[in-house]
Amino acid sequence: MSHPSERLSLLINTLSLNVNSFATECGYSSSTTIWRIINDNKKPSKPTLDKICARFKNVNKEWLLTGQGSMFLTKESLDDLTVTAKQVLDKLEPILKVNFNDLVNQINEIHKKIHSIEYITTIDYINNKKKKKNNI
């Protein structure tokens, strides 16, 4: 199979669906997008690939797009993806850990400074008004 449109058609048949039911399963209100891909020999867009793979989690996106690999992800490859995601999360965890009490204290300090500035500005305004009134 040389073209993504042919692979999409094969996938639909393998899932024992028709184009209309496949489009509905993928979240499309009509089957126009899927029909155009198949009938016009177009490549599915990234959003379409994402919809297909979100609905059919075992579909191999690489196979659908390039023909490389098998149509469906094996349990081992799904497990590999899960491990990879966990590894990423484990690396991000220390970066994302923030002492929120420190942040709250910093925000409170900033808030106090803003109030001080507002107070001083108000006092200056009142004093300037008094000076102008006395000069008149």
Structural contact between residues 4 and 64, judged by C-beta atoms closer than 8 angstroms: yes
d(CA 80, CA 83): 5
- Residues of the chain where predicted confidence (pLDDT) is lower than 70: 1, 75-86, 92, 95-100, 136
- Which SS3 state, helix, strand or coil, does residue 121 take? helix
pLDDT for res 78: 56
Q: What pairs with residue 59 in β-bridges?
A: 72
pLDDT for res 136: 63
pLDDT for res 59: 92
Q: Rounded to the nearest 10 degrees, how much is the dihedral formed by the CA atoms of 84, 90, 92, 96?
A: 150
d(CA 106, CA 97): 17
Which DSSP string corresponds to 48-70?
Answer: HHHHHHHHSTTB-HHHHHH--S-
pTM of the model: 0.56
